[in-house]
Amino acid sequence: MAHRKTKSRTAKSSGPARDERWLRFYRQMLTIRLFEEEVNRLYQSGKMPGLAHLYSGQEAVAVGVCEALRRDDYITSTHRGHGHCLAKGASLERMFAELLGKAPGYCSGKGGSMHIADAETGNLGANAIVGGSAGIATGAALSAKMTGSGRVAVCFFGEGALGQGLLYECMNMASLWKLPVVYVCENNLYNEYTRFQETTAGEIAARPAAFAVPCEAVDGQDVIAVHRTSQRLVERARAGEGPAFMLCNTYRFYGHHVGDVDRGYYRSREEEQRWREGRDPIKLLAARLLGSRLADGRLLDQIEDEVRRQIAGGVDFAFAAPYPDPSEVERHVYA
Amino acid sequence: MSATATRESAPRELTFAQAVREALAEEMRRDPRVFIIGEDVAEAGTPFKVLSGLAAEFGTGRVIDSPISEAGITGIAVGAAMTGMRPVVDIMFGDFLTLAMDQIVNQAAKIHYMSGGKLKVPMVVRTTLGATRRSAAQHSQSLHAWVSHIPGLKVALPATPYDAKGLLKSAIRDDNPVVFFEDKMMYQLKGPVPEGEYTIPFGVADVKRLGTDISIVATSSMVQVALAAAERLAPMGIEAEVVDVRTTVPLDKDTLIASVKKTGRALVLDEGYRRYGVTAEIASLLVDEAFYHLDAPVKRLGAMDVPVPFSPVLEDRTVPTPEIVVETAKNLCGRS
Ligand SMILES: Cc1ncc(C[n+]2csc(CCOP(=O)(O)OP(=O)(O)O)c2C)c(N)n1
C-alpha cells in the first residue's frame, strides 16, 4: 500500500502533536527521496521512457508547504514535480504507473513524468512549460475567491521562471484582487545548466515587492522553517489578505535531468558534496529528531523500511499494470 | 533539384547537428553582425549539444546565454535585427514558439510591410519539431504550419545534413525573419556535406529520389520516412518519387507540380497536425495545378489531431510511419 494522506488537516494547533507531525514530515521527505532513487534506477536501466527531472535535495520545500495545505487546496507544479505531487497526496502506485506509461497512471499514461495531475488531491498539474502554471494557480485562486470556497492555491516554480513575463502579469492581478495564492519560488541555484545569477538581475525579493506582494525568504533545507512560514502565508491568504511570495533557498542533488551526468562544466563536485553532506534536508531533520529525543535510530530505521516496502510495492504494481489500449490515443482530446 | 554544383566535391559525412553548427560558425566568421541568443546556448551548447564549441570560438558576447524568456529574447532580436545586427534566436523546443508568438507574428513578420519597406528584420529563429522522444504533449509538437500561415515569415524544414547547412546559411543571409525547424530525432543523422562553402536558396524543392509511379511530397523527417517507404515499394513494382519541399515559404510549386504531372499520383506527408496543415495547402495546390494529370485523389498523411501522448504505445501511433506510407501508396496505385 502506498502512503497516502488520509485526513485533510488545517494548519491550526488542533492537529496531531508536534513530534508526530515531524515524524510525518520525515516519512514524507523520505518517500520522495526513495521514490526518486527508484526513478533514477529505472531510467538508468532503460525501463523508463522519456526523461525525469529529479527533486532530490529539495524535499523540505514540497513537504513543508503541502503539510500546511488542506487536501482540497490547489497546487501547480513544474517539470521537477514528483515531490510536489507526492507531498500533496499522490499514490506511489499511480505515480510509478504514469512514469512507465501505463493505463492506471495518473494521466492514463498520457502525461508522463512532467505532467502528473490529480484532481482528487487538488493537484492541477505538473507543467513542462517553465512558468506555465502561473496563470493556472492564479486562476484557481480567483475561482476560490469567487466561490468563497476558502481554498488557497500554491504555485511552485523554479527561479528560472522568474524570466517569464506571465508570472509578473499574474502577480499584478493577484495583488490587485487580493487572491489567495502563494507563489513558492524554489531557488536551487541553476536554470538547467546556467547559474541563476547569470539569468536573474537584482534581488528576487524586490520583484514581488514591486507588486506589493509580501515576500519571505526561508532556508529551503529546513522543513520546519518552510512549514512555519508557509502556514503563516497560507492562512493569511485564506483569510482574504491576498497573495504572498515565498523564496526557498535550496539545491538539487542530481543533474538537471536523469541524463545530465557530466555536469562538471557548470558546477563542481565539491559544491555537490557540500550540499549532500551538510545540507540534506532529511539528514537535518533526522538529526533534529534524534537530538531532541523525538525519535530514536530504531524508529527512523523502521520508517525507512516501511517506505522502502511501499516503494517496492508501487514499482511492482506499475510493472504489472497494462499499457493503455491503443484506442486511448484519440480519447480525451475533448471533454 | 539541388541548386548547387559542389555536391559531389567531397565525400565527407557530418551529422545533422554538426552541419547546423558548421553553418553557424561559418556565418559568424564571415559576418560580425551574426550572433546567437538563447537558453543554455553557450557553455552547454543547448541540451541537444548542437552548438557545442561555438562559445569557445566566438565568446559569450556573440553566443549569448539568456534567461528563460522566449518572448523577451525574440523581441530583443527583432530590435537588434532592425538596427543592423543579424541575430539567430534559439528556441529550444518548437512548443515554446507559442511564448514568442507575439514577437514573431505581430512584430517580426509585420514590420517590413507596415513600414512601407523602410525597415527590415533579418533574423532567424532556430527551433525544433518532432515527436517520438517520449517527451509528451508540451515538448513534441511540430508547429511549422502555424508560422507558415503568416505572411512576412519564411520557413525552412531541412531533411538532411547537407540541406540543413545550406539552408541555414541562406536563412542567416536573408533580409527577412526566417523560422528554421530542425527535427530533434535527426540530429544524429549522418549525410554527405562537402567541405567548401555552399548555400541552398529558399523556394527550391529537391527531388530526393526519382520515380515514375507516385510522388511522395514530404517535409523534414518525413522525407526520411518517405525514402524508407520508397525502398519498400520498389520490390512491389512501385517506383516512388520523393520530393523534399525544403522550404514551405516560399514554396517551390513548379517542382512539386512537375513531379505530379509526371507520376499522376500524389501523397503528401508532414509531421504537423494533419488538419488545416501543410499537407492541406500542398494537396490543394496539386489539385489546382495538376488536376487533369491525376489518376487518383491526392492523399495526405500527418500527425494525428491529438496532443502527443507520453506512453510509447500511444505516441508511436500519432506519427506517420513507413508502413502507413507504404499502405497508402499501394492503395493510391491500385494495389492492395
Ligand atoms: C518556456 C520554457 N522554456 C524553456 C524550457 C526548457 N527548460 C526546462 S527546465 C529549464 C530550466 C528551469 O530552471 P528552473 O525554473 O530554475 O527550475 P529547476 O530546473 O531549477 O527546478 C528549462 C530552460 C521549458 N521547459 N519551458
| Inter-chain CB proximity A110 and B137 less than 8 Å | yes
User: What SS3 state is found at A253?
Assistant: coil
- Average pLDDT of the residues in B260-277: 98
What's the whole-number mean pLDDT along residues B150-156?
Answer: 98
Q: Do B309 and A328 touch (CB under 8 A)?
A: yes
Cell of A76: 501547480
Looking at chain B, the whole-number percentage of residues with pLDDT higher than 70 is 97
Give residue ranges with CB within 6 A of ligand 1.
A 79-80, 128-130, 158-161, 188, 190-192, 256; B 39, 68, 70, 92, 96, 99
Which residue intervals of chain B are DSSP H helices? 16-30, 54-58, 70-82, 97-101, 111-114, 144-148, 161-173, 221-233, 253-263, 278-290, 312-318, 322-332
Query: Which residues in chain B touch residue A326, judged by CB atoms under 8 angstroms apart?
Result: 313-314, 317
CB contact A228 to B (< 8 Å)? no
Give the residue from B17, B45, B121, B28 showing the smallest Cα distance to B79.
Answer: B121
Residue of B68, B133, B317 lying closest to A130 (CB–CB): B68
Q: What is the mean pLDDT of chain A?
A: 95
Q: What pLDDT score does A15 carry?
A: 57
Contact A115 B72 (CB under 8 A): no
What is the pLDDT, as a whole number, of residue B11? 80
Do B139 and A128 make contact, defined as CB atoms within 8 angstroms? yes
pLDDT at A152: 98
10 Å CB burial of residue A72 (0-12, 13-18, 19+) is: middle
Q: Are B299 and B328 in contact (CB under 8 A)?
A: yes
Q: Is B106 exposed, middle or buried (0-12, 13-18, 19+ CB in 10 A)?
A: exposed
CA-to-CA separations, A40 to A51, A306, B171, in angstroms, rounded? 10, 20, 41
CB-closest option in A50, A131, A265 to B43: A265
Mean pLDDT of B204-226: 98
Which residues on chain A are in Cβ contact (under 8 Å) with B71? Answer: 165
Is the pLDDT reported for residue B9 higher than 70?
no
Say how many Å lie between the CA of residue A78 and the centre of ligand 1.
9
Instruction: Report the nearest-CA residue for atom 17 of ligand 1.
Output: A158
Residue corresponding to grid cell 508532414: B270
Closest alpha carbon within chain B to A131: B68
Q: Which residue of B has its CA nearest to A164?
A: B69
C-alpha cell at A18: 508536534
Q: Which residue among A109, A130, A265 sits closest to B309, beta carbon to beta carbon? A: A109
- In terms of Cα–Cα distance, which of A61, A56, A94 is closest to A77? A61
- Among candidates A152, A212, A221, A151, which has minimal Cα distance to A186? A221
Closest to A133 in 3D by CA, of A151, A156, A116, A152: A156
Nearest-CA residue for ligand 1 atom 12 is A191
Q: Which of B22, B27, B39, B70 is catalytic?
A: B70
CB contact at 8 A, B113 and B119 = no
The predicted structure's pLDDT at residue A1? 37
Work out the average pLDDT over B109-127: 97
Give the separation between CA B328 and CA B336, rounded to whole angstroms. Answer: 9
Nearest-neighbour CA in chain A from B188: distance (Å): 17
The alpha carbon of residue A115 is apart from the nearest alpha carbon of chain B, in Å, by: 8
Q: Whose CA is nearest to atom 5 of ligand 1?
A: A130
How many whole angstroms separate alpha carbon A120 and alpha carbon B165?
50
pLDDT averaged over chain B? 96
Rounded distance, CA B87 to CA B79, Å? 10
Kindly report the protein residue whose alpha carbon is nearest to atom 8 of ligand 1. Answer: A130
CB contact under 8 A, A115 and B307: no
Kindly report the nearest CA distance between residue B221 and chain A, in angstroms. 20
For the entire predicted model, the pTM comes to 0.93
Regions of chain A where pLDDT drops below 50: 1-14
Nearest to A44 by CA among A191, A256, A261: A261
Selection from B232, B302, B234 nearest residue B267 by Cα: B302
- For atom 13 of ligand 1, the residue with the nearest CA is A191
Rounded Cα distance, A248 and A80, in Å: 15
CA torsion B180-A53-A259-A313 (nearest 10°) is: -140
- Let me know if B112 is a catalytic residue: no
Kindly identify which residue of chain A lies nearest to residue B136, measuring between CA atoms. Answer: A111
Which chain B residues touch A329 with a CB distance below 8 Å?
Answer: 304, 306, 309, 314, 317-318
**d(CA A191, ligand 1 centre) in Å:** 6
Optimal mutation site among A129, A167, A257, A328, interface B, most CBs of chain B within 10 A: A129
d(CA B335, CA A232): 72
A333 touches chain B (CB under 8 A): yes
Cα(B18) to centroid(ligand 1), Å: 25
Note the pLDDT tens digit of each residue in A97-154: 999 999 999 999 999 999 999 999 999 999 999 999 999 999 999 999 999 999 999 9
CB atoms within 10 A of CB A216: 16
Give me the residues of A, 127-146, that contact B with CB < 8 A: 127-132
pLDDT score at A6: 41
Read off the C-alpha cell for B235: 520490390
Tell me the best of B37, B68, B74 to mutate to test the pocket of ligand 1, counting ligand atoms within 8 Å of each CB and taking the most: B68
pLDDT value for B2: 47
Question: Which of A133, A191, A254 most suits a substitution to test ligand 1, by most atoms within 8 Å of the C-beta?
Answer: A191
**Residue A187 CA to chain centroid, in angstroms?**
13
Residue B336: band (very low, low, confident or very high) from pLDDT cuts 50, 70, 90: confident
Give the DSSP H/E element, type plus range, for residue B265: none
B139, B182, B241, B315: which is the annotated catalytic residue? B139
Residue A212 in contact with residue A244, Cβ under 8 Å? no
* CA A246 / ligand 1 centre spacing (Å): 19
A110/B309 CB distance under 8 A: yes
Mean pLDDT value across residues B88-96 = 98
